[in-house]
Amino acid sequence: MSVFFRTIKERRSDRIAYDLKRPITKLNLMKILEAARWAPSPHNMQNFEIIIVDDKKLLKSIQEGYMRPSGSYHKRLQRSGHDAYASSEEELLRKKYGIFVPDERARSGHRRAIRLGPVLGVVTYDPERRPPHGRAEADFLNDIGLGCVLENVWLMAHSLGLSFQVMSVLGGPAGEDVKRILGIPRRLRIAFGFRLGYAVQRPKRTPIHSRVRREVTDFAHHNQFGNRSW
């Protein structure tokens, strides 16, 4: 297996505690930003700005300024029969997509602050700065470009041995407080955030939890939809 493909396959979202006393070097942060710089960009618009936050006071303000439900959201989705949630590990293994939330996590309905690490990245974009297309198509292209930025920084972080977690919640109402704290101009919107650091202790994971993916023959079609002759 090539090093590049191994990086793609082993990339993961580390939703665990990071060592707050272990900083990330400026060299590694620059490598991550360089990866973002060379992400594919529709019409080369490069419509993104990235704020790297490592000031402890700012991180604390961001962390304490937003409280999120830790388990009740998952519980509601499970009860609604949402297709993204499996009722057991066996079902998850059979479906090969979605996630399984154990009962002890689903029952946890308390609210807690978002968990951060020694570094938080905040990716913003200007909704009025778009490729020369109709608004709907231009917005779609912008989204593709931001997705490419996310993938590049994620893969680079993993290749450097860093833990990484996407903070999609910062793109919602919580983002307004983050914009205020970081002095982000009103015209910009937060696409997503990401936390960086070194995991305090990487938990043991079963193959079900770590790498559940459909087989290529489950989603690939050859020349005609439905032709599975791979």
Is the pLDDT assigned to residue 82 strictly greater than 80? no
Confidence of residue 15 (pLDDT cuts 50, 70, 90): confident
Is the pLDDT assigned to residue 86 strictly greater than 80? no
**CATH 3.40.109.10 region(s) of the chain?**
9-66+114-211
Helix, strand, coil percentages, rounded to 5, for the chain: 45, 15, 40
Confidence of residue 202 (pLDDT cuts 50, 70, 90): low
Dihedral over alpha carbons 39, 44, 48, 49 (to 10 degrees): 90
| 55 Cβ contact partners less than 8 Å away, ≥ 6 residues apart | none
Q: Does residue 98 come out as left (phi exceeding 0), alpha (psi in the -120 to 50 range) or beta? A: left
**Amino acid identity of 143?**
D
| 15 Cβ contact partners less than 8 Å away, ≥ 6 residues apart | 115, 165
Q: Looking at 81-119, list the stretches that DSSP marks H as alpha helix, in order from N- to C-terminal side.
A: 89-95, 103-106
For position 25, what pLDDT does the model report? 97
What are the pLDDT digits (tens) for 206-216?
A: 444 557 889 99
Q: Strand runs (DSSP E) across the chain, as ranges?
A: 49-53, 67-69, 85-86, 99-100, 111-113, 119-125, 163-167, 189-197
For 9-66+114-211, CATH number out of 3.30.479.30, 3.40.109.10, 3.40.50.800, 3.30.465.10 equals: 3.40.109.10
